[in-house]
Amino acid sequence: MPPDIPPVEERVEDGTPGCEGGGAAAVAPGPPLLLRPTFPIRTARLLLRPLTAADTDELLEYRSLPEVCRYVPFLPMDRAAVARRLADAWARTEITGEGQGLILGVQLAETGRLVGDVNLFLHSQEHRSAEVGWVLSPHHSGHGYATEAAHAILHLAFDDLKVHRVIARVDARNLASVRLAQRLGMRREALLLENEWFKGGWSDEIDFALLESEWLTQHREPAATP
């Protein structure tokens, strides 16, 4: 559940193998993973771009709300918490190595209003794997903005960063987020029962994933009709 970059960044993997990992495995083929987007990234209705101090009030409008934080790792934020992150993890504008993440503000192109943020975290260069997350202001839900922004993040992950696999981890109770992952074409891979002690109770996690091959299939141009 990674919709907040700092907690995710704090989980930087140390590369320690599990039962089936590590060993003498070679790094997966492909160029070194690097992402230096040109901002803003434009979609049909949105602009995606790094967050700045000028966004503080609009960030607080949704990141301070308990309902927004219910299923995500961060607590409701105050001005000081937002300022700390803007000065630190949220200031990143590129990904140059594993353990780094990018958080981008989601702005309505028509009005300039900041309505949420999305993020991309590079887990492993060796396995070419990344994770995505999303947070939307409840004042702007129900219009497909989070889906549109997250889809743009998947474009960054597969088309620009060139990862092999992207995951999204969702609290099983977070049905809006489950639907969003499904709308993105992500495949439900696992249900992890009570895998985390989360905000005072055990929580179940649903893992979604998308492979580069699946992404390419989804985005293949339809064959021209004769």
Complex with ligand COA: residue 74 or 126, whichever CB lies closer: 74
Token pair of 99 as six digits: 């353990």
Closest approach of ligand COA to the CB of residue 18, in Å? 23
d(CA 155, CA 13): 24
Taking the mean position of all CA atoms in its chain, how far away is CA 183? 15
d(CA 72, CA 1): 6
Within residues 143-162, the interface with ligand COA by CB under 6 A covers 143-147
Q: With binding defined as CB under 6 A, does residue 199 bind ligand COA?
A: no
User: Which region among 34-42, 51-59, 134-142, 186-194 touches ligand COA (by CB under 6 A)?
Assistant: 134-142
Complex with ligand COA: residue 4 or 98, whichever CB lies closer: 4
Give which of 101, 99, 92 is closest to 13, Cα–Cα. Answer: 99
d(CA 107, CA 117): 9
d(CA 210, CA 212): 7
User: What is the amino acid identity at position 28?
Assistant: A
User: Which region among 16-24, 151-159, 176-184, 200-208 touches ligand COA (by CB under 6 A)?
Assistant: 176-184
Q: With binding defined as CB under 6 A, does residue 72 bind ligand COA?
A: yes
Site string for ligand COA, 15-54 (x = CB under 6 A): ----------------------------------------
Complex with ligand COA: residue 197 or 224, whichever CB lies closer: 197
Token pair of 221 as six digits: 């141009």
Q: With binding defined as CB under 6 A, does residue 174 bind ligand COA?
A: yes
Complex with ligand COA: residue 94 or 194, whichever CB lies closer: 194
Q: What angle do CA 115, 67, 40 make, to 5 degrees?
A: 20
Complex with ligand COA: residue 45 or 162, whichever CB lies closer: 45
Closest approach of ligand COA to the CB of residue 164, in Å? 21
d(CA 103, CA 62): 15
d(CA 185, CA 214): 9
Residues of the shown chain interacting with ligand COA in the complex, contacts defined by CB under 6 A: 1, 3, 68, 71-72, 133-136, 141-147, 170, 174, 176-177, 179-180
